[in-house]
């Protein structure tokens, strides 16, 4: 599989780009040219210069430094959201698909209820109920998204649980964990990887949207969505302020989407040349 | 060795006449049969006659509504000892070789699953690489196949891999559910010859489910005719010409007529 990954240019380039961004986020305190919180009101909206490579914002803070520090909440929160979503969704989906019967019915009806709500409204409702906080943003995103994963994983499990290779394992008495973790989970892993890499883009946008609306990451913490929120106030006078966080969000989300496409090819063994 | 006593199986009708109806369709009716060690029992019937359902009951995958499925006197479904005995002694080869092997596994992992079963039974570690190579050779393939994926093999080769996996379990009984039906005539003969060779070498017991009379006569000691979920006749393959049951005779004649027409067509060509 690793060989197939290395032979897929899109997979390699997008992974390299995402890893590079993540490393920049980790190393932000050492490579950022300025303090991202330091105000310099005299220098507000400064143009690109050696001291401020991407200029300064409306409070005279270094945009590049804020961009670098902003990687942490943007990617970190998206990753946490996806881990929570996939974890809960996979558990529920596996339970429903594997055990069937009443367990399946109960879980799937809850999923139906969850899917019937408009997702954005639900996020606002959850954040409004729990209060404005980063943890609540993650909880809200997991809360509205787990049902999609539960349904998809349950469908995958049901699709594969009556395949002959699973029946063979049952017939010869292989333990349930072998069937679950060696047959069923890897069979749906490709779909899961593709969907989650596409959805991590959704999570980034969603977290940025919440920050943009003032419900997510709060000022003065640097976050790309929050930076867009601050830039929108000066959209007509200083439109350049929108460019940096805007381009960064588009680039990362596109990278994750392309990675999702590439992973679908990489994880399909039929793509191997004979 | 393995025995069914008055087995009845029914499935819920998908199209119910009443709302929340509980109508059931009977698939197997009062099936009784005994398979002795070392024999090959053929189960013959048309599509929908209940052959595969009977196979599922025999290999512990479908609990019957009533009746007893026994292995060495122990009940397969109600006794833990019976269930363990069955799992230790039975293995299965399915008709559809494409779904019989996990498409994400290498051939060595597919056969490796059978080896794991044997390791669990004997509680002894087996050298994987050598054993996979030995089993591949046993079914007429070489060890270079070990690192391939199922989709890189032909139907006949993949069915051989499934047979190798069944043999790897060190099972005494192998249930062959239409195991050669989806292969071409030449490959069918090759696989059946291989199965006969393995049976003699390893003293295996076969339960051979098929709708093809020719392969039954080529391969089995006894044949059980199944019609609409009922056993209509059980006879030795050598006495197949002397069947008395109406359905068995009808089935026999239709196959013979078909074969004669086929031969005539071949002569014309």
B140: region left, alpha or beta (phi > 0 left; psi from -120 to 50 alpha) = left
Q: How confident is the model at residue A273 (pLDDT cuts 50, 70, 90)?
A: very low
pLDDT score recorded for residue B238: 83
According to DSSP, residue B230 is labeled E
CA atoms within 13 A of residue B209's CA, in its CB half-sphere: 25
pLDDT score recorded for residue A269: 66
Distance in angstroms (rounded) separating the CA atoms of residues A36 and A245:
14
Positions of chain B with pLDDT lower than 50, given as ranges: none
Substitution target from B77, B102, B106, B165 for chain A, most A beta carbons within 10 A: B102
Interface contact B91-A174, CB threshold 8 A:
no
ipTM of the complex: 0.87
According to DSSP, residue B34 is labeled E
Residues 151 through 190 of chain A touching chain B, CB cutoff 8 Å: 163-165, 167-174, 182-183, 186-187
- Interchain contact A269–B (C-beta under 8 A): yes
Q: How confident is the model at residue A27 (pLDDT cuts 50, 70, 90)?
A: very high
Distance in angstroms (rounded) separating the CA atoms of residues B92 and A217:
58
Interface contact A269-B151, CB threshold 8 A:
yes
> Does A55 score more than 90 pLDDT?
no
Calculate how close chain A gets to B158, using CA atoms only, in Å. Answer: 13
Decide the pairing of beta strands B222-227 and B230-236. antiparallel
Query: Out of A125-134, A232-241, A265-274, B245-254, which region has the weakest mean confidence (pLDDT)?
Result: A265-274
Q: What angle do CA B64, B65, B67 make, to 5 degrees?
A: 70
Residues 6+ positions from B108 with CB-CB distance below 8 Å = B128, B129, B132, B146, B147
Distance in angstroms (rounded) separating the CA atoms of residues B201 and A57:
83
Residues 49 through 78 of chain B touching chain A, CB cutoff 8 Å: 59-61
Q: How confident is the model at residue A19 (pLDDT cuts 50, 70, 90)?
A: very high
pLDDT score recorded for residue A159: 87
Cis peptide before A220 (omega within 30 of 0): yes
- Interchain contact A131–B (C-beta under 8 A): no
Task: Dig out the tokens for B150 from the structure.
Answer: 């199922």
CA dihedral A133, A136, A137, A141 (to 10 degrees): 180
Strand segments (E) across chain B: 2-12, 24-35, 40-44, 66-71, 74-75, 90-93, 173-177, 205-210, 222-227, 230-236
Could you read off the pLDDT of A160-170 as tens digits, one per residue? Answer: 888 889 999 98
Helix, strand, coil tally for chain B in percent (to 5):
45, 25, 30
A7-11, A187-191, A208-212, B109-113, range with greatest mean pLDDT: B109-113
């Amino acid at each position: 599989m690793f060989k197939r990954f290395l032979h897929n240019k899109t997979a390699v380039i997008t992974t390299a780009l995402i890893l590079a961004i993540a490393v920049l986020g980790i190393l932000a305190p050492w490579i950022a040219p300025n303090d991202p919180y330091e105000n310099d009101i005299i220098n507000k909206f400064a143009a690109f210069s050696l001291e401020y490579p991407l200029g300064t914002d409306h409070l005279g803070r270094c945009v590049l430094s804020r961009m670098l520090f902003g990687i942490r909440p943007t990617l970190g929160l998206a990753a946490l959201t996806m881990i929570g979503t996939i974890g809960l969704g996979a558990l529920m989906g596996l339970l429903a698909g594997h055990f069937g019967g009443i367990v399946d019915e109960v879980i799937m009806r809850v999923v139906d209820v969850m899917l019937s709500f408009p997702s954005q409204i639900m996020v606002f409702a959850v954040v409004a109920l729990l209060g404005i906080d980063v943890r609540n943003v993650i909880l809200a995103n997991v809360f509205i998204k787990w049902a999609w994963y539960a349904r998809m994983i349950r469908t995958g499990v049901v699709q594969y649980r009556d395949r002959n290779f699973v029946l063979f394992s049952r017939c010869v008495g292989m333990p349930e964990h072998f069937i679950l973790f060696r047959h069923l989970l890897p069979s749906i892993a490709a779909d899961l990887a593709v969907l989650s890499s596409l959805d991590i883009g959704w999570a980034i946008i969603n977290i940025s949207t919440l920050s943009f609306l003032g419900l997510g990451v709060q000022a003065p913490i640097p976050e790309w969505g929050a930076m867009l929120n601050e830039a929108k106030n000066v959209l007509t006078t200083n439109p350049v302020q929108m460019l940096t966080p805007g381009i960064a969000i588009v680039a990362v989300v596109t990278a994750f989407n392309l990675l999702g496409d590439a992973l679908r090819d990489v994880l399909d063994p039929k793509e191997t040349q004979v | 060795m393995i025995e069914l006593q008055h087995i009845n199986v029914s499935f819920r009708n998908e199209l119910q006449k009443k709302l929340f109806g509980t109508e059931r369709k009977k698939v197997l009716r009062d099936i009784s049969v005994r398979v002795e060690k070392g024999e090959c029992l053929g189960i013959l019937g048309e599509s929908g006659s209940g052959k595969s359902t009977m196979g599922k009951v025999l290999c512990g995958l479908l609990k019957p509504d009533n009746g007893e499925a026994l292995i060495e006197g122990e009940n397969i479904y109600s006794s833990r000892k019976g269930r363990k005995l069955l799992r230790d002694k039975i293995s299965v080869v399915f008709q559809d070789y494409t779904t019989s092997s996990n498409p994400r596994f290498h051939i060595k992992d597919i056969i490796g699953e059978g080896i794991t079963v044997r390791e669990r039974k004997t509680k002894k570690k087996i050298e994987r690489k050598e054993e996979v190579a030995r089993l591949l050779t046993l079914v007429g393939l070489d060890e270079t196949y070990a690192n391939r994926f199922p989709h890189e093999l032909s139907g006949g080769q993949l069915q051989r891999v499934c047979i190798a996996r069944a043999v790897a379990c060190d099972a005494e009984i192998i249930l062959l559910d239409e195991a050669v039906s989806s292969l071409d005539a030449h490959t069918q003969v090759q696989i059946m010859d291989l199965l006969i060779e393995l049976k003699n070498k390893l003293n295996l017991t076969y339960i051979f489910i098929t709708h093809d009379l020719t392969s039954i006569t080529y391969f089995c000691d006894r044949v059980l005719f199944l019609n609409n979920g009922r056993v209509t006749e059980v006879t030795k393959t050598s006495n197949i010409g002397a069947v008395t049951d109406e359905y068995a005779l009808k089935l026999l004649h239709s196959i013979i007529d078909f074969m004669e027409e086929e031969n005539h067509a071949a002569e014309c060509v």
